[in-house]
A and B are shown apart, each in its own frame.
Chain A
């Protein structure tokens, strides 16, 4: 049983994972991070789960790493930090991960948001990388994914000043895909997740992989990967079903094969 997470059974193919460490504004301590990585690996293996929504509470999605834990770590400790592996496990999740963000998404919380594929934010959400204020820098993608998401000037400003931006600014900058009323964030994220869960799972998986490729390879390699993935799908039963259902003007019944 996870201590810092609430993991719901999948409904309509969607599993909701809620960070539950409210007394610390959901700060991502190592145990929480490990639990989250494990929950995603469980979801990965579970054939009834086709998408995951991850959220916090109204006040905070996750307000950073656990500073006390970090303070106790010297250079060698940081070098051998198990967190690096947990972050890799989270980033390796192959099904769609949708973040429903209310309140603070700072430091590690913002980095977790950037590990998600889709981000639905409440109007009062705040995004930032305040590590610089502690004499450190983001250590889980905050300098890399942020620059790719929002471009250099804003990424530099956020990382070098440590100042957070609001949901509207984040939407405009491309860090967030949609903003909603804070009370409806999880509901909207779940809707989006259910819509994805109804698609052909193999197509969703390859589409996600192809899109992620775009962020870390040159265009020619990306296009080559896309074409390979496109070709692979030609051998699936779901493709035949999808095309036939479209022609017959009926909803498709996908089997994941």
Chain B
């Protein structure tokens, strides 16, 4: 499959997926969804990827759904937005969240609607200083989707989550960092290089173990303390059987640099 609406490559363990409809601020239409899905399938299926870096081309990161697909003429049958969520957005954020490797999101510009919530399904979010997050749904009578109503209160607390979702005001990258919505803000010119450097660093780490860490942290919001302790035991059991653990301990004992393979 050749891609028209995204750029996609896998190199040295780093899968780079960049949304590429810059004229439309990388907003999603059905074809872009299908391409992203295909790319993520390749990432999942033994392509050698150990880290995923998600970003966007041009001045925006992603403006959510392309509304030119969605104009409802007076008297026309109302659309079933649930269908597109079932078909596209929910599988997308589930895949990002469940992908057994670190997922970095480099938010290079405005992130609005679903575009503001997709980064929240990723593991490490970096943002350009000029980037912003807008829960634009409330302005057109909709509800934050793509996991927004689940992520926001957990990341920034209920009071701020409600303000963001009900007012739909622009949240600057710096404020997002202060609130703990994202990991780090950096200068626009540095974002791509820093994100790539981080991705390359992680791709040499024990990524199987990192995937288990991600899994345990993701599960923590749903689990009781006791359930989480049991999960930690089970995941540690798996981690302890990995080649990377053996290599890590052996390198530590032999005072040398470990060479991790990701399994």
A contact residues vs B (CB 8 Å cutoff): 180-181, 183-184
Contacts and interface: CB of A to CB of B under 8 A. Distances in A.
A126 to B, nearest CB: 14
B112 to A, nearest CB: 31
A184 B234 CA distance: 8
Nearest to B215: A181
Interface residues of B, number: 5
Interface in B219-245: 231, 234-235, 237-238
Interface in B93-143: none
Contacts of B238: 181, 183-184
Contacts of A183: 238
A181 B231 CA distance: 8
Contacts of B235: 181
8 contacts: A180-B234, A181-B231, A181-B234, A181-B238, A183-B238, A184-B234, A184-B237, A184-B238
Contacts of B231: 181
Contacts of B237: 184
Nearest to B238: A183
A180 B231 CA distance: 9
A236 B162 CA distance: 67
Contacts of A180: 234
Contacts of A181: 231, 234-235, 238
A142 to B, nearest CB: 26
Contacts of B234: 180-181, 184
A184 B240 CA distance: 13
B107 to A, nearest CB: 30
B223 to A, nearest CB: 12
Given A181-B231, A184-B238, 6 more contacts: A180-B234, A181-B234, A181-B235, A181-B238, A183-B238, A184-B237
A183 B211 CA distance: 14
Contacts of A184: 234, 237-238
Nearest to A188: B234
A184 B239 CA distance: 12
A10 B128 CA distance: 60
Nearest to A124: B98
Nearest to B219: A123
A181 B238 CA distance: 10
A183 B236 CA distance: 12
Nearest to B234: A181
A167 to B, nearest CB: 13
Nearest to A123: B219
Nearest to B230: A180
B166 to A, nearest CB: 31
A181 B232 CA distance: 11
Nearest to B222: A168
A183 B240 CA distance: 13
A214 B235 CA distance: 37
Nearest to A187: B237
A225 to B, nearest CB: 36
A230 to B, nearest CB: 34
Question: Which 9 residue pairs across A and B have the least CB separation, nearest first?
Answer: A181-B234, A184-B234, A183-B238, A180-B234, A181-B235, A181-B238, A184-B237, A184-B238, A181-B231
Nearest to B212: A181
Nearest to B241: A183
A1 to B, nearest CB: 31
Nearest to A168: B222
Interface string B1-30: 000000000000000000000000000000
B1 to A, nearest CB: 23
Nearest to A184: B234
A54 B68 CA distance: 53
A122 B168 CA distance: 40
A180 B237 CA distance: 13
Interface in B178-236: 231, 234-235
A180 B219 CA distance: 13
A183 to B, nearest CB: 6
A181 B219 CA distance: 11
A184 B237 CA distance: 9
A190 to B, nearest CB: 14
A89 B228 CA distance: 41
A181 B235 CA distance: 8
